[in-house]
Amino acid sequence: MRDPDALIARAGVRGDPDHDQHFLVDDRVLDRLPTYLEEIDPDASHLLEIGGGTGALTDRLLALAGEDGAVTVVERDRDLAAFLREEFADAIDAGRLTVIEGDALEVDLPDFTASISNLPYGVSSEISFRLLPEGKPLVLMFQQEFAERMVAEPGTSEYGRLSVSTQHYADAELVETIPKEAFSPPPAVESAVVRLRPREPEYEVENEDFFLRFVKALFTQRRKTIRNAIRNTAHISGLEEPEAVVDAADDETLRKRADAMAPAEFAALAELALVESGLE
C-alpha cells in the first residue's frame, strides 16, 4: 500500500483546515476502513469514494475492489484531482479507476455498490443524505459529535432529527473513534467511523419528503410537547390544519417530546397528519 505521508509529499500539498481539508495519514486506520465494509457486504465491484485527497484510501479501495472491480473517486480540488490521475494512471488506463473532478453534491454519481469515504466535515450531512437514499452499504467518517447523533437512540441527549432521518434509511453503527493525530493537519475535534447497513424501515411512509420535513419541524421545538410542536411548526411542516392533527392524535403521543419519539412513532404521526390535513 502507498505510504500516506509519501503521497502528500509527492502531491506537494498541505492540508488546509480553513477549507475543511485534513488528510488521513494513519496506516492502521486506513487499513481498517475497508474491513468494516467486508463484514457486512463482500460486493466491492464498484466502490465510491467522496473526497479522494492524495489517494491513501483510494489505494486501499482499489485493493479491495480487486482486478475485476472498479473505484470512482469524487474530488473537488482541481490540483488533487490532477494528482490522483497522475498517481493512479495505471489503474485509470486499466479501467479500474475513474476520477471525477467536482462537488459531490452536484456531479452525477455512478451506479456504485458501496461507499467508503472520509467526508469533508463541513458538508457531511448533505453528502450523507445524497448517499443514504441510494440504499447501498456505507462506511463514512465524520466528526465524532455528528457520528454520535447519527446512531443515537430515543431518550438520549444526542437523539434528534439527524438520528431519525439516518435510521429511516439504514441501521447505523459507530464502529471506531479516530484520534486527531491520525490526520494531517490534526482537526480540532476527534472523528468517528459510522457503518450504515441499508434496509427498508419497519413502518410505512406514504410521502417521504413530508415525513422528513415533519420530523425536522418537530425537532425545532424539541423542548415542547408534540401537541405544541405540531401547532407551532405548521409553517415548516406545511400543515394547513395543525389543530385537526392534534385533535386526531392520541394523548400519550401528544404528551411526549420529540426526543422521546422513535422513528416508527414519527412515521405513524406523519401519516395521520397527511390524512387530517388533506395532504395525502
* Amino acid (one-letter) located at 11: A
103 labeled part of a ligand binding site: yes
* Amino acid (one-letter) located at 98: T
> Under the phi-then-psi rule, with left for phi > 0, alpha for psi from -120 to 50, and beta for the rest, what region is 102?
left
- Do the beta carbons of residue 52 and residue 80 sit within 8 Å? yes
Place of cell 422513535: 262
259 labeled part of a ligand binding site: no
The vertex-174 CA angle with 69 and 263, nearest 5°, equals 105
75 labeled part of a ligand binding site: yes
118 labeled part of a ligand binding site: yes
48 labeled part of a ligand binding site: no
| β partners of residue 225 | 257
- Which grid coordinates are listed for 258? 420529540
207 labeled part of a ligand binding site: no
The span from the CA of 112 to the CA of 82, in Å, is 22
Binding residues, by number, are: 22, 24, 51, 75, 103, 118
Binding residues for S-adenosyl-L-methionine, by number, are: 22, 24, 51, 75, 103, 118
